[in-house]
């Protein structure tokens, strides 16, 4: 590798930031536990776990 190439480097993509410790991740892997992302809907300062509840609240307020 030349000096020019070593200065540019060939770094890999950064690891995703995760708040779980390596020990916790090892336990999750060991027991086959997976994480699922979910959406949260916010309207008028309230948070809802599903869109239909947020829409229903907004419709009730519009009456």
d(CA 30, CA 44): 42
Question: Would you say residue 3 has pLDDT above 80?
Answer: no
d(CA 54, CA 16): 31
What pTM does this model have?
0.50
Query: Sorting pLDDT into bands at 50, 70 and 90, what band is 14?
Result: low
The more confident residue out of 54 and 19 is: 54
Question: Would you say residue 53 has pLDDT above 90?
Answer: yes
């Amino acid at each position: 590798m030349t000096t020019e190439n070593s200065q540019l480097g060939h770094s890999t993509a950064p690891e995703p930031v995760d708040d779980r410790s390596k020990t916790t991740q090892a336990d999750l892997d060991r027991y086959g536990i997976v994480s699922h992302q979910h959406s949260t809907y916010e309207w008028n300062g309230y948070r809802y776990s599903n869109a239909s509840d947020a829409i229903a609240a907004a419709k009730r307020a519009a009456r």
